Chains A and B, each alone.
Chain A
Amino acid sequence: MKQLFRVLPPLAPDYGGACEIMYELGGLVLIHDATGCTVNYVHFDEPRYHTKPSNVFCSGLCEIDAVMGNDDVVINKAIKAAEELKPNFIAFVGSSVPMVVGTDFYGIAHDCEAQCGIPCFGIDANGIRNYIYGASVTGLQFVKRFCGEKTESRGVNLLGFIPMNYGDLRETEIIKGAFTDVRHAFSYNMSFDDLADLQNAEGNIVVSAAGLEIAEYMKKKYGMPYTVGVPYEHILEKIIDPSGLKGRVLVIGEGIDACSMAAAITGKYGLEADALDVFEKKSAAKYNLSSEEEIKAVAAEYDVVVADPCFTPLVGKSKIIKRPTVSVSGGVFNT
């Protein structure tokens, strides 16, 4: 049964991706849920929770408010918290219950902004899509709202750059360090003011699918060219133990990241390497699969699989080179 997961954890959801991209931007973020979704996010999907504060809250949605459509409750809570926090913006992020009752997040954001004058956003996350969607639609809204006129062309932006793509903050730093002349990494170590400067880079580099739509938009609006990929050939040994690489290699993960690593393995070690994207149904990866049965069948064709430790039971006799990622295993395999 394709939808039944015996081994793999559910992947990081859209509301997690949305919150990740906003974490450092000084906003007030409300996940509209009863608590479970927010705890999911702060527990496993946000590596920065323990190192820096951010105004990410649970709206405390309850049954009666959901059924009766009492959207005023969440709006009033946001305004009250904003009075104390003075946020740069307010974002209302969806989850599964609002999806069921058809909550209009754009309407809520519009009403809230009309009442308090602070820029407000509605993110129609539902807990069914993955983090790529959440980070992408949120990032795009911010770029559309805050990027102004282009006044110069210098440096590059990294788009779709969020810690959730990687194993931990140490690895995030290593990967950021592999790029040169970085103007902004959207969104890691980036401020709210930096948002209004994204258009002043010479071009964009998309490091995960979360950045693709933003790159397309900036290309159309500002004529900014973009490329796709992560230069793993310079840092591969810092991310995985390459000593076990041999024969045919399969890299499992997010599409752009996995393709980049596969290309680096081929370029550096002369091995045949392919990518399997577990997040998106369509990408540059050779395979786009999410069912355990299908992943197992494909993995069996390879000598070595580079993947999160969660995939171990699915690789059969192939050798696994473990590369934990927050978007899959939420940091539980980090030492």
Chain B
Amino acid sequence: MLGLGAVGVVAGSRVQDGLDAALAPLQRLDPTGLSGLLPGNYFRIYTVTDGYPYESDTNYRLTVDGLVDHPTVYTMADLQAMPATRLVRTFQCVTGWRVDNVHWQGVALSVLLDKAGVQTAGKDLRFESFDGVYTESLTLAEAYRPDVIVAYSMLGGPVTQEHGGPVRLYVAPMYGYKSIKWMSRIQVVDRVEPGYWETVGNYAVEGWIGDSNGY
């Protein structure tokens, strides 16, 4: 039993991939939806407050301010009218679970930063969630990567409330906690301020997948 457990820990990552592949066609045929209760590579839904904050698409606003020449407030329609970036990437949680081949769509963060005109004193970014608690950070260099987007679509539809909708950040090369949910503000600052999980969970500020938080 213990031996099986140890084998499962070492090989489980690959076994789960195989199982997912094997179960996927069966789950498509399952009319009850009960097979969705089976363990697999699904999103675990985290929130740092007591529930999920809500904002409608029409009332949603994203503020870009701080050390910028043109502070701007975007509506959902503004964001959707801008050139879109599409990514298909794995979402990896630092605690181990992951979801492969997640479709994302949004505006590259670099586009918003260029429009705002980052001042020379601006070195880092601070992100705020409209849940009032969750904050995150990136350096300016990280924020300019092409695989860092302000996402309004994931999993083939709008970003739902539990996934951090209507708009969340998606930092593809980093662990999930960097991809702040329910994002309402991007502030350009002069130094990195550790975010919520980095303070509460003692996670690395530089959350590179496979290269931080231990191995």
A binds B: no
Residues of A within 8 A of B (CB): none
Residues of B within 8 A of A (CB): none
